[in-house]
Amino acid sequence: MIGPKARLEFLVLAALLTLGLAVRNPGLLVMAIPLAWRLTLGLLWVSPNPERTLQVRRTVYPTRLTEGGVVRVDVEVKNLGRAKLDLQVWDGPYPGFSEVRGQWQKTALLLPGESLSLSYEAHPARGVYFLHAVGVEVGDPLGLAPRRVNLPCPAEILVLPRYEDLSRMEFGARRTLAMPGTVRARRGGVGLEFYGIREYRPGDPVRRLAWKAMARRDEPVVVEFEEERVAEVAVVLDVRARAYRATSPELFSWAVRAAAALAHYHLRQGHRVALLKYGAYLDWVFPGYGRRHEQRILRELAQAQLGESEVFADLENLPTQLLPPGSLVLLVSPLLFGDEETLGQLVARGYRVGVIMPDPTSAGLEGLEHTPEAETAQRILALERWILLRRLRRSGVLVGVWDVHRPLSPLVRRLRETVSAWR
Amino acid sequence: MAVLLAVGLAWVAHGHPVHPGWAGLVVVPMGWAAGLRFRIPKLVFLGFVGLVGLAASGAVGGNLPLGLGVLGLALLAWDGSAFRGGQDRGSAARRLRRSVLVVCTGLALAFAASLLRFSLNFWVLLGGLVFAWLALWAWLREVSHSSGGNANGNRSTSGPTR
């Protein structure tokens, strides 16, 4: 590629020649000789496709980390050809990488067989990063035709959301699946919690005989425990940009972390967990079990971004047909006015609905100054939210307002108690 | 420094006039320095074109050796301005040496050509130049559209360190 330097020199040369011929002045033609000599020599020295002789190796460690972690990237460019190469190599800067330490670009003259190394560390934000190529500019001796190429060297860095390990949750789905789990199934069977007593049937183990009750009734009775089974859980992350408007950008990150914590907890309990990102479009991870499924969900959460869509502006298009009635729906959202109606309808249709509401005021409101008007606005917002919460609780939705600077675990544990107090 | 020297030499090539209008020449080194300082390539381009113009006008005025000197200094300054940042001293010195060598040989060729005495038909000269021009244009076109845009070679993919 002919660079701007060569183009300008060529133009000056052309101007001198044209002028020299026009005014028939040999002095101007002679002046053109050094320029013509430079251009000819410089362009002759340009080696065609020098990048073919370059070997690039990029090492990324770790390729999978959680928010706040440090990733180390090493790049090695080796000259396998026979010619000296004047190189400028860069890897980045990548958006989302912060606190970059080390060298992510370098310039050097690379002799045959020599190699050039870049090494840097960075704190990547949550997300999936595709590092496709390493940028290289191969210069020529006079800088007339620098060649800029991207040498493919793909790498992927997955930065998962940092989430809390929840200890206990009191509320579960209304309907359970056939497999044993941790949600009380409201029926007698194998479990730990006392459920009731019933008459002895042949085959019942003798150690479950309730001796005192038997003495009172004068017939053999056995103790029954409440059966515990797995349930179907849908974690819904609200990605509607409208819901997070005028709040700190960090609030959405906290919402993602809460969704990750909820999904992790329920998967650890053995439930079938689905993830739905609702807002820009429908992004659904079908219900599933196990560690691989958890990784799938975490990967989706790592990629979660806010978006706008007219179709999904309200919660009324929540695809509940994908979940059987009686399932547990956990919504993580700052909520908007009008959402309470849809959530109330879900409760009426038999779903158990819980909402974790990251408190916008705890994350800080964006661009708000400390003026009397701002304080009034904040009070109005707080009142609106209070009305919204009251409506939600009346319709049977379990709501927890989460101060993002406090742990989520105590809030989730208290959620049931809060609801009973309100009822 | 080379720019200042070139401007001074251009002033001498024009017979060191004392007209205050010649003080306007300081715009060239100032513009050049500002272009380098604030990374405005257009100012450096303009400075280079201005110096070549001064050299050409000196040559037209009859002082060809000084005109060539101005041109040589302008080319050296031009090469120096295009050096990329972040390179080591050795590399910069090597580039400078190469630039000086190319410029000096170019100037020597031009000076030698000016000593030659021969007559050439205008139309032959014009035809020759047009031919040379077209050949150069075709060659540049070939160089800029050469294949090999997609890099390949023996490359490994990324992976974690052990």
CA separation for the pair A132, A151 (Å, rounded) = 8
CA separation for the pair B14, B70 (Å, rounded) = 11
Q: Which residue has the higher pLDDT, B126 or A386?
A: A386
Distance from CA of B160 to the nearest CA of A (A): 5
Residue A417, judged by CB atoms within 10 A of its CB (0-12, 13-18, 19+), counts as: exposed
Tokens 């009034």 sit at which residue? A376
What is the average per-residue pLDDT within A276-293? 87
Q: Say if A55 is an interface residue toward chain B (CB within 8 Å).
A: yes
Helix, strand, or coil here: A284? strand
Q: Say if A8 is an interface residue toward chain B (CB within 8 Å).
A: yes
Q: For residue B159, is pLDDT > 90?
A: no
Distance from CA of B137 to the nearest CA of A (A): 10
- For residues A132 and A152, is the Cβ–Cβ distance under 8 A? yes
Q: For residue B97, is pLDDT > 80?
A: yes
Q: B-chain residues within 8 Å CB-CB of A62?
A: 160
Q: Are strands A97-103 and A115-124 parallel, antiparallel or unpaired?
A: antiparallel
Fill in the DSSP letter of residue A148: E
Dihedral sign (CA B30, B31, B33, B37): positive
Beta carbons within 8 Å of A80's beta carbon, 6+ residues apart = A53, A54, A55, A112, A113, B153, B154
What is the average per-residue pLDDT within B125-136? 81
What does the pLDDT look like over A319-331, one tens digit per residue?
877 778 888 899 9
What is the average per-residue pLDDT within A340-354? 90
- Sheet-wide strand order for A71-79: A54-61, A71-79, A115-124, A97-103
Q: Say if B131 is an interface residue toward chain A (CB within 8 Å).
A: no
Residue B92 identity (one-letter amino acid): A
- CA dist A284 → A12, A26, A242, A274, A304 (Å): 62, 78, 20, 7, 12
Q: Which residue has the higher pLDDT, B90 or A394?
A: A394
Q: For residue B158, is pLDDT > 80?
A: no
Beta carbons within 8 Å of B53's beta carbon, 6+ residues apart = none
What is the average per-residue pLDDT within A188-202? 79
pLDDT more than 90, % of chain A: 22
Q: What is the ipTM of this complex?
A: 0.79
Strand stretches in A166-291, DSSP E: 176-199, 221-238, 272-278, 283-288
What is the average per-residue pLDDT within A242-267? 89
CA angle A30, A33, A38 (to 5 degrees): 160
pLDDT band at residue B63 using 50, 70 and 90 as cut-offs:
confident
- Contact between A21 and B125 using a beta-carbon 8 Å cutoff: yes
Instruction: Please give the residue of chain B at the shortest CA–CA distance from A51.
Output: B151
Phi, psi of A409 (to 5 degrees): -55, -50
Q: Are strands A328-332 and A352-358 parallel, antiparallel or unpaired?
A: parallel
What does the pLDDT look like over A109-118, one tens digit per residue?
888 899 999 9
Q: Say if B50 is an interface residue toward chain A (CB within 8 Å).
A: no
Q: For residue A208, is pLDDT > 60?
A: yes
Q: Which residues pair with B68 in a beta bridge?
A: none
Q: Which residue has the higher pLDDT, A380 or A195?
A: A380
Q: B-chain residues within 8 Å CB-CB of A46?
A: 143
> Omega into A93 within 30° of 0, i.e. cis?
yes
**Lowest mean pLDDT, pick from A84-88, A144-148, A190-194:** A190-194
Residues 112-131 of A with CB under 8 A from B: 131
Report DSSP letters for A308-366, one per residue.
--STTSSGGG--GGGS-TT-EEEEE----TTHHHHHHHHHHTT-EEEEEEE-HHHH-BT
What is the average per-residue pLDDT within A78-83? 86
Q: A-chain residues within 8 Å CB-CB of B95?
A: 141
Distance from CA of A65 to the nearest CA of B (A): 12
What is the average per-residue pLDDT within A187-192? 70
Q: For residue A151, is pLDDT > 60?
A: yes
Q: pLDDT at position A217, please?
A: 87
- For residues B50 and A22, is the Cβ–Cβ distance under 8 A? no
Q: pLDDT at position B17, please?
A: 72
- What does pLDDT average to over chain A? 85
CA atoms within 13 A on the CB side of A139: 20
Q: pLDDT at position A186, please?
A: 67
- CA dist A248 → A255, A313, A335, A369 (Å): 12, 20, 15, 14
What is the average per-residue pLDDT within B104-108? 91
**Lowest mean pLDDT, pick from A300-304, A363-367, A419-423:** A419-423
pLDDT band at residue B151 using 50, 70 and 90 as cut-offs:
very low
- Could you write out the three-class secondary structure of A42-64? HHHCCCCCHHHHEEEEEEEECCE
**Lowest mean pLDDT, pick from A188-197, A412-421, B69-78:** A412-421
